[in-house]
Amino acid sequence: MDKQMIKVGLMGFGTVGTGVVRLIQAHQEDLQKQAGFAIKIQKILVKDAAKYRNIPLMDHLVTTDPNELLDDPDIDIIVEVIGGVSPAKEYILGALERGKHIVTANKDLMALHGGEILQKAQENRCDVFYEASVAGGIPILRALVEGFSSDRITKMMGIVNGTTNYILTKMSQEGSNYADVLKEAQSLGYAEANPSSDVEGFDAARKLAILATLGFHVPIKLEHVDVRGISSVNKEDIAYGKQLGYEMKLIGLAQRDKDAIEVSVQPTMVPKSHPLASVNGVYNAVYVHGEAVGETMFYGPGAGELPTAMAVVSDLVTVVKNRKLGVNGHGMIAPYKEQILKDDSQKLSKYFLRIVVADQRGVLAQITQLLANENISLEQVIQQPLNEGAQAEIIMVTHMASKLDMDHVLKHMEQMEIVTEVKSYYHVEGGDKN
């Protein structure tokens, strides 16, 4: 094996895989200077070898047999960008057993089986890097592992799905309906034909599981994330939120109080003064709070061929540098702290409520009393007449309340004769505790 050449097996030759090849070809001199070795794509695993690809001189590298990559002793590193859980998991575990280092962009796999993969990497003294699995070109995972290594992270909050941020931005700026903006996002390629993973919050939830696991050193799985998407958000909610001083964002939150952790993804009213409120379009941003450093925020493009490929190639360079220094595998730290999850009485937030009630005397007093019975007080209230005065719409923002108490309130409201409908309720960022 040429000691001045690192050979790479690339699994997947779609949008991101193509970007990886383009960057390696275009920046070979810079990469060699930075890493100390030339980097060469040795083999590329694809589903269809006959498919046309607009990258010259690559056809002879293409194979449909994964063993041509896994069993090749000259291949030092596997770059996995095929996505999905299976067969990617089997390929990666097989590569680690053979002593090959891993770079992956696979958020699904790392969210579900990251602990097992990191454990296998530790056993075989291999590197596993997955910066591209969260927030595309934003180096947030590297910052958590390296930049915050001497700090104790207490909170991570952010916008980590560009599709939903694009939809909510358009709804806010243009007063458009959710369904109309979704169709536009699909026509522009920002949303898939089946957009459920994005709009129902599952894509963001996978990324939050990865962030929470790395930031808190605790094994957080997808089922530990409270998930609610944006498909029920309407333009009236957003308009009332703006009137009260908020922008609507799909916010991923991972928070630790003492040792108890909560992780959630849900539509959230964010104060217009908060940096996340001005993150628009398909951009992502992650806000991190550490006990020593205080507040920091990472901002940039969350997806796309070259931003994601850049994150992959940056990880690839790190693996090669580690090889030069002889420290491959020493940076792999599986979660080592006990998992303590908050119960609903410990999950605190302000809430936005929008309800339709009978327009008669004493209604607001009854609603206020119901909230008071659960130790919830109001910060802001708007009341608007509906249906020529027969009904009214009440929009409220509460002070801090537990999820348990708010669930009790919502259940009781549905049983009250004066309440026609609970139109919507959302978390509100900021307040007594933040």
Catalytic residues, by residue number, are 207
Residue with tokens 């000691």: 3
Tokens of 117: 């993969």
CA distances from 413 to 190, 236, 398, 418, 421 (A): 38, 21, 15, 9, 8
Other residues' Cβ atoms within 10 Å of the Cβ of residue 52: 6
Name the strand (E) or helix (H) holding 410. helix 403-415
Burial of 423 (0-12, 13-18, 19+ CB in 10 A): middle
Task: Classify each residue of 333-355 as buried b or exposed e, where b means 16 or more C-beta atoms within 10 Å of its C-beta.
Answer: ebbeeeeeebeeeebbbbbbbbb
What value, to the nearest 5°, has the Cα angle with vertex 310 and ends 305 and 312? Answer: 100
Q: Cβ distance 191 to 163 under 8 Å?
A: yes
Q: Cβ distance 133 to 281 under 8 Å?
A: no
205 vs 216: CA distance, rounded Å: 16
Other residues' Cβ atoms within 10 Å of the Cβ of residue 30: 11
Give, as one character, the DSSP assignment of residue 22. H
91 vs 98: CA distance, rounded Å: 11
